[in-house]
Amino acid sequence: MRKIIGYLLSPLFYAAFGVLIVIFHPIQWLCLKLGGYRAHKWSVDMLNAGLVSCNYLLFNRVQFIDNKQLPTGKPIVFVANHQSMYDIPPLIFFLRRFHGKFISKLELANAGIPSISFNLKHGGAANIDRKDPKQSIAEILKLAQHMHNQKWSAFIFPEGTRTKTGQMKAFSVGGIATLLKKNPDALVVPIAIKGSYKMVQWGMFPLRPFTPMSWEVLAPIEKGDLLLDEIVLAAENAIRAKVEA
């Protein structure tokens, strides 16, 4: 029965999602040209508020557990597990005060997807070519420099790919190391994402309705004298304790 309902509701979800990204594409362009970074960021935040709301067309529950103790005006590396493409809008919207930027695939920035590709190109993301290590490192270093200069933050999915089962993969150190090289005093904050993989457990169609999903911002990792790989492992273990409990 749930799958049948998914067949009925998924077109509504995709229609709303599609309308939003098409409408906000020219809005983003105008905001960027007329108001610069701040206006463009506002348009991206509002777009993602709408994309989060699309989940309710599937009767999916979005629970975002924030950490209000985190300081603003300081670079933060948000480290999260990755379950689906729908992980991203809640991160952008609910943590908008941190000016978080993503490390994304270059193909996505060049794909011509309304709003999404435009934001990746003009919003400060690091768009990396995984087949070109030099280009990838240069892009991440550019983001790291912006974090240092502008007090931006970054979102990174160190698993490198999405899980299809909810079981986490081991975290890679590379991207986090590059960001922290330019920002040694940045906080490393784990985010545990649960349930969003179930939304696409049948593939892109139908989407699974009546799915509870949660995002929980955990306490920063106490870096102290920890080595970099120990910091990443501590973040991984903190997330794993929430996701696989």
Dist CA 81 CA 195 (whole Å): 11
Instruction: Name residues of the chain where pLDDT drops below 50.
Output: none
Q: What is the pLDDT of residue 53?
A: 97
What pLDDT shows up at residue 86? 95
Structure token pair of residue 51: 């994309």
Q: What is the pLDDT of residue 41?
A: 97
pLDDT (0 to 100) of residue 244: 85
Put simply, whether the predicted model's pTM sits higher than 0.85 gets the answer yes
Fold category of 2-243 in CATH? Glycerol-3-phosphate (1)-acyltransferase (3.40.1130)
CA distance 158 to 151: 22
Instruction: Give the separation between CA 158 and CA 172, rounded to whole angstroms.
Output: 5
Q: Give Cα separations from 60 to 20, 50, 107 (angstroms).
A: 18, 14, 29
Domain coordinates in residue numbering, the chain: 2-243
Q: How many CB atoms lie within 10 A of CB 112?
A: 8
Determine the straight-line distance between the first and last CA of the chain, rounded to whole angstroms. Answer: 28
The DSSP 8-state label assigned to residue 60 in this structure reads: -
- In angstroms, the CA 184 to CA 117 distance is 30
